[in-house]
């Protein structure tokens, strides 16, 4: 049985992230919260505080934090503001492809420079995300590859000062027609600003507005063989190894959003009086708050379990736990934020109060990187296969 008591070291990282979120994200405000303004100063502050590149190994100049540590930090950042947390989490997720699929030389070449300045990385979402919208193909010429095509959704696409992006490309159209979206092809690391790589303006989203998700077009983008991850046929393995650690990170962000919603709802319910008593004293409201609290706790425990299993090096053996954590958190955060709006009553949908934004952030979270329905389908397949 896994123990979810956090170590003193992890509690220190948690406090660091919480203090940063309280000071820079909650109290400071800023136009990044409700516009597609890139929060350059906040990204720089997060880098300065050590909240970027958290999983980079010591050989690359990083701290080599485990999956559990990064998920704890991700929850605190999303508690502060989901858009900024999404920017940072997407960069961590992109780095995971290199950590899981790259050689030691590639890790040092691609990851070490990230410690020198506040640069973000990004990745093109896989086909099952529902946003991919296009394919990228490659042709090989000696030691060089040339990528052409388009992709509908690149996480952190077009952010100022980005380092590089992960694209999956196929040698021919037949190879790209696989049903899973994860097998076949090759992963390429494309430097930002490379000739032939262009990003459209980022998608205008319902919530998490400061998070950049942009369509990309590639036209004969040259990539050296040194920037190819793995060999043909290894994409599925790299994707699965990355998923096991990325999904808990993403799910933890949803726990943070939900926690913020519950805190606001609880405070408001104690301050708002009707019939001479705070609305928190009425059973209808108290039951709602109780359900929100237990859902958040259950989601957090699933996240911690998935993260600890990933840290034990079980790899693909713990995919089901990672999928469970993300699928549950996606639906949980939508329920909790919707109920928070309900607690506020007629004020809930007013932009003068914080919960309507959290509900919009939650809806975006529920749909990114694979909907909960899609994850349930995949989880069901795994269960049937295992029987």
pLDDT: which is higher, 317 or 53: 53
Q: What is the pLDDT of residues 1-25, one digit of tens each?
A: 355 689 999 999 999 999 999 999 9
The residue among 192, 211, 229 that closes a domain is 229
Residue that terminates a domain, selected from 171, 203, 229: 229
Residues 88 and 155 in one domain: no
pTM of the model: 0.93
At residue 1, the pLDDT reads 38
Question: Do 104 and 142 belong together in one domain?
Answer: no
Q: What CATH number is given to the structural domain containing 375?
A: 1.20.140.10
The answer to whether residue 174 scores a pLDDT higher than 70 is: no
My answer on whether 303 and 340 are in the same domain is: yes
My answer on whether 102 and 194 are in the same domain is no
Q: pLDDT tens digits for 328-343?
A: 999 999 999 999 999 9
- Domain finish residue from 115, 134, 169: 115
| Domain match, 64 and 201 both | no
Answer whether residue 100 shows pLDDT above 80.
Answer: yes
Percent of the chain with pLDDT over 70: 91
Domain range enclosing 101: 8-115
98 & 151 share domain: no
User: Is residue 350 located within the same domain as residue 262?
Assistant: yes
Q: What is the CATH number of the domain that holds 107?
A: 1.10.540.10
| 1 part of a folded domain | no
Q: Which pLDDT does position 179 carry in this prediction? A: 45
Residue 3 forms part of a structural domain: no
Q: Please state the three-class secondary structure of the chain as a single string.
A: CCCCCCCHHHHHHHHHHHHHHHHHHHCCCCHHHHCCCCCHHHHHHHHHCCCCCCCCCHHHCCCCCCHHHHHHHHHHHHHHCHHHHHHHHHHHHHHHHHHHHCCHHHHHHHHHHHHCCCCCCEEECCHHHCCCCCCEEEEEECCEEEEEEEEEEEECCCCCCCCEEEEEEECCCCHHHCCCCCCCCEEEEEECCCCCEEECCCCCCCCCCCCCEEEEEEEEEEEEHHHEECCCCCHHHHHHHHHHHHHHHHHHHHHHHHHHHHHHHHHHHHHCEECCEEHHHCHHHHHHHHHHHHHHHHHHHHHHHHHHHHHCCCHHHHHHHHHHHHHHHHHHHHHHHHHHHHHHHHHCCCCCCCHHHHHHHHHHHHHCCCCHHHHHHHHHHHHHHHC
Is 212 a member of any domain? yes
Look at residue 339 and tell me if it is in a domain: yes
The tally of domains found in the chain comes to 3
Task: List, for residues 142-169, the tens digit of each pLDDT value.
Answer: 999 999 999 999 999 999 999 999 999 9
2 lies in some domain = no
């Amino acid at each position: 049985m896994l123990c979810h008591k956090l170590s003193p070291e992890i509690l220190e990282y948690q406090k660091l992230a919480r203090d940063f979120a309280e000071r820079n994200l909650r109290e400071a405000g800023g136009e990044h919260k409700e516009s597609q303004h890139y929060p350059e100063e906040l990204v720089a502050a997060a880098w300065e505080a050590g909240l970027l590149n958290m999983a980079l190994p010591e050989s690359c100049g990083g701290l080599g934090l485990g999956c559990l540590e990064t998920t704890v930090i991700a929850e605190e950042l999303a508690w502060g503001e989901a858009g900024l947390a999404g920017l940072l989490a997407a960069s961590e997720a992109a780095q995971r492809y290199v950590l899981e699929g790259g050689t030691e030389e590639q890790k040092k070449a691609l990851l070490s420079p990230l410690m020198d300045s506040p640069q973000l990385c990004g990745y093109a979402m896989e086909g099952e995300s529902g946003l991919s919208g296009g394919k990228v193909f490659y042709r090989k010429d000696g030691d060089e590859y040339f990528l052409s095509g388009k992709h509908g959704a690149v996480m952190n696409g077009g952010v100022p000062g980005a380092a590089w992006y992960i694209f999956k490309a196929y040698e021919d159209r037949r190879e790209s027609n696989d049903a899973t979206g994860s097998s076949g092809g090759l992963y390429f690391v494309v430097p930002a600003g490379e000739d032939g790589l262009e990003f459209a303006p980022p998608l205008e989203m319902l919530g998490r507005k400061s998070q950049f998700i942009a369509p990309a077009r590639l036209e004969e983008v040259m990539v050296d063989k040194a920037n190819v991850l793995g060999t043909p046929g290894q994409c599925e393995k790299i994707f699965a190894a990355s998923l096991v650690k990325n999904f808990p990170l993403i799910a933890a962000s949803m726990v943070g959003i939900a926690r913020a919603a519950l805190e606001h709802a609880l405070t408001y319910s104690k301050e708002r009086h009707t019939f001479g008593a705070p609305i928190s004293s009425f059973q209808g409201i108290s039951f709602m708050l109780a359900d929100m609290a237990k859902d958040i706790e259950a989601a957090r425990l699933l996240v911690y379990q998935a993260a600890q299993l990933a840290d034990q090096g079980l790899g693909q053996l713990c995919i089901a736990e990672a999928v469970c954590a993300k699928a549950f958190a996606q639906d949980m955060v939508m329920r909790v934020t919707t109920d928070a709006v309900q607690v506020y009553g007629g004020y809930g949908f007013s932009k003068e109060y914080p919960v309507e934004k959290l509900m919009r952030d939650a809806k975006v979270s529920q749909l990114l990187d694979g909907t909960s329905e899609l994850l349930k389908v995949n989880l069901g397949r795994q269960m049937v296969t295992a029987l």
